[in-house]
């Protein structure tokens, strides 16, 4: 049996899910200090390519500089603070970032190059007005940024233990072939909590439970069941697809080739999860990879950015293939989203000050402990 909770635990205070001041506190303590995945290097193939992203209320430019490095900058001009880019993506012509207000011009390295029509003064030094930088790095094709002044650890160390789950998947060779953005009217923590347990699965996800039979028992993994016995030597007790299924499609079948290099258990399980607590999760299926990024839009709104990745370039993937690998995950996300919105509405009831956690919700407890640690809040549960 895995680490199921051995007694009832209190969940977080209800106000943490809707109070604007607490939301801002979480942005400062978590979202502006942790490494956050913001996209994929495929969007930055050439020098000057860029995309913009938002973390909390901060707009960020991510670009490929002239020397090929991935750089990130706050989307603000150092003259008087005008936003520099208004498009979600594009390419900086001639490698120049030009402010639309007074035409101050910067290189993709962040250096101030020109200030047209400015009257010269002896005390002005262009070197003092470079763009405000953001820490940026990549991990296996994914782009991360960190808004902290000095990250506690570099990205390689941050991902060291998490990344081992998907060592056998060729992530560097995959390309995003489809994206969906789904807005849910709930706090980011409510969606993460839903992701972290399958207690809701028997009621909400009948289609998924046919593909993942253990989910019908209200748990994620076989090892969470009291009567679990390993299927083979080295069985780690993860959840696995049904005997007649291969992957997450509506019928469990696939026409895609399975990834080479997977172990027998990885092929038999059909998938494995890897997550960065609170902000991002990756589902490595036997034939495709799917990622979900959480983007808080306010105390009671969260965008889910869902990408599907395959070895082929986007233009080489037919619409029918996209639909097959999209249908079941999107159905699950829509079902989860509806439940999360009900959860968000219900916690505002006057007598509700906190919930409770049952044994199979141990991952929620881990998340709450992680959150309390980041916020410097003591555990107040029984």
For the stretch 232-271, pLDDT in tens is: 777 778 889 999 999 999 999 999 999 999 999 999 999 9
User: Is there a single domain that holds both residue 98 and residue 203?
Assistant: no
Residue 1 pLDDT = 42
**pLDDT at position 380 over 70:** no
- Is 209 found in the same domain as 357? yes
Q: What is the mean pLDDT of residues 132-156?
A: 97
4 pLDDT more than 80: no
In this predicted model, which residue has the larger pLDDT, 293 or 234? Answer: 293
Q: Give residue-wise pLDDT tens across range 59-117.
A: 999 999 999 999 999 999 999 999 999 999 999 999 999 999 999 999 999 999 999 99
Domain boundary among 124, 155, 186: 155
Same domain, 14 and 132: no
Which of 134, 155, 176 is the last residue in one of the domains?
155
119-to-82, 128, 146 alpha-carbon distances in Å: 20, 17, 37
Kindly state whether residue 160 falls inside one of the protein's structural domains. no
In the structure, what pLDDT confidence band is assigned to residue 382 with cuts at 50, 70 and 90? Answer: very low
* 132 and 262 inside one domain: no
Average pLDDT of span 300-306: 98
Q: Is 314 among the domain residues?
A: yes
Give the CATH number for residue 123: 2.102.10.10
163 within some domain: no
Give the predicted TM-score (pTM) of the model.
0.94
237 plus 317 within the same structural domain: yes
The mean per-residue pLDDT over the stretch 201-225 comes to 95
pLDDT of residue 364: 96
Domain membership of residue 1 (yes or no) is no
Residue 2 belongs to some domain of the structure: no
Q: Are residues 251 and 339 in the same domain?
A: yes
pLDDT grade, residue 226 (50/70/90)? confident
Give the CA angle between residues 184, 188, 192 to the nearest 5°.
Answer: 100
Mean pLDDT over the full length of the chain: 95
Residues 116 and 209 in one domain: no
* CATH at residue 193: 3.90.380.10
For residue 23, being part of any structural domain is answered with no
The parent domain of residue 102 ranges over: 36-155
What's the half-sphere exposure (Cβ side, CA atoms, 13 Å) at 204?
20
- Tell me, yes or no, whether 192 and 145 share the same domain: no
| End-of-domain residue from the set 113, 130, 155 | 155
pLDDT tens-place string over residues 20-58: 999 999 999 999 999 999 999 999 999 999 999 999 999
Q: In this predicted structure, what is the pLDDT of residue 290?
A: 98
Domain membership flag for residue 115: yes
Q: In this structure, are residues 220 and 197 in contact, taking their beta carbons and an 8 Å threshold?
A: yes
Give the confidence band of 229 by pLDDT, cuts at 50, 70, 90. Answer: confident
Question: Are 14 and 111 within one domain?
Answer: no
Do residue 221 and residue 359 come from a single domain?
A: yes
Both 138 and 176 in one domain: the answer is: no
Whether residue 179 is found in the same domain as residue 99:
no
pLDDT for residue 354: 94
| Residue 188 confidence (pLDDT) above 60 | yes
pLDDT > 50? residue 184: yes
Residue 141 confidence (pLDDT): 97
Domain count, the chain: 2
Residue 269 falls within a domain, yes or no?
A: yes
């Amino acid at each position: 049996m895995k680490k199921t909770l051995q007694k009832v635990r209190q969940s977080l205070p209800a106000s943490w899910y809707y109070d604007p001041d607490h939301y801002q506190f979480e942005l400062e303590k978590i979202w502006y200090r942790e490494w956050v995945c913001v996209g994929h290097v495929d969007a930055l193939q050439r020098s000057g390519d860029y995309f913009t992203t938002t973390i909390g209320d901060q707009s960020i430019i991510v670009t490929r500089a002239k020397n090929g490095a991935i750089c990130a900058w706050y989307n603000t001009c150092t003259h008087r603070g005008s936003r520099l880019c208004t498009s979600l993506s594009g390419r900086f012509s001639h490698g120049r970032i030009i402010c639309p207000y007074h035409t101050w011009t910067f290189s993709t390295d962040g250096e101030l190059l020109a200030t047209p029509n400015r009257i010269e003064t002896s005390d002005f030094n262009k070197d003092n007005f470079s763009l405000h930088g953001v820490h940026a790095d990549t991990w296996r094709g994914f782009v991360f940024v960190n808004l902290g002044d000095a990250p506690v650890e570099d990205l390689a160390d941050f991902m060291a233990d998490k990344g081992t789950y998907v060592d056998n998947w060729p992530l560097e060779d995959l390309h995003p072939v489809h994206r969906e953005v789904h807005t849910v009217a709930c706090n980011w923590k409510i969606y993460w909590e839903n992701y972290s347990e399958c207690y809701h699965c028997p009621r909400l996800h009948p289609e998924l439970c046919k593909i993942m039979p253990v989910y019908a028992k209200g748990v994620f993994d076989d090892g969470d069941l009291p009567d679990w016995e390993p299927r083979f030597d080295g069985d780690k007790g993860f959840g696995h697809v049904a005997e007649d299924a291969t992957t997450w499609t509506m019928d469990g079948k696939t026409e895609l080739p399975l990834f080479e290099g997977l172990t027998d258990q990885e092929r038999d399980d059909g998938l494995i999860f890897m997550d960065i607590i609170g902000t991002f999760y990756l589902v490595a299926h036997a034939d495709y990879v799917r990622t979900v990024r959480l983007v808080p839009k306010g105390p009671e709104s969260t965008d889910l950015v869902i990408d599907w990745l395959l070895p082929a370039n986007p233009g080489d993937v037919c619409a029918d293939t996209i639909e097959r690998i999209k249908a079941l995950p999107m159905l699950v996300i829509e079902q989860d989203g509806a439940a999360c919105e009900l959860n968000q509405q219900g916690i505002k009831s006057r007598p509700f000050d906190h919930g409770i956690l049952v044994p199979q919700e141990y991952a929620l407890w881990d998340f709450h402990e992680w959150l309390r640690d980041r916020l410097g809040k003591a555990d107040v549960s029984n």
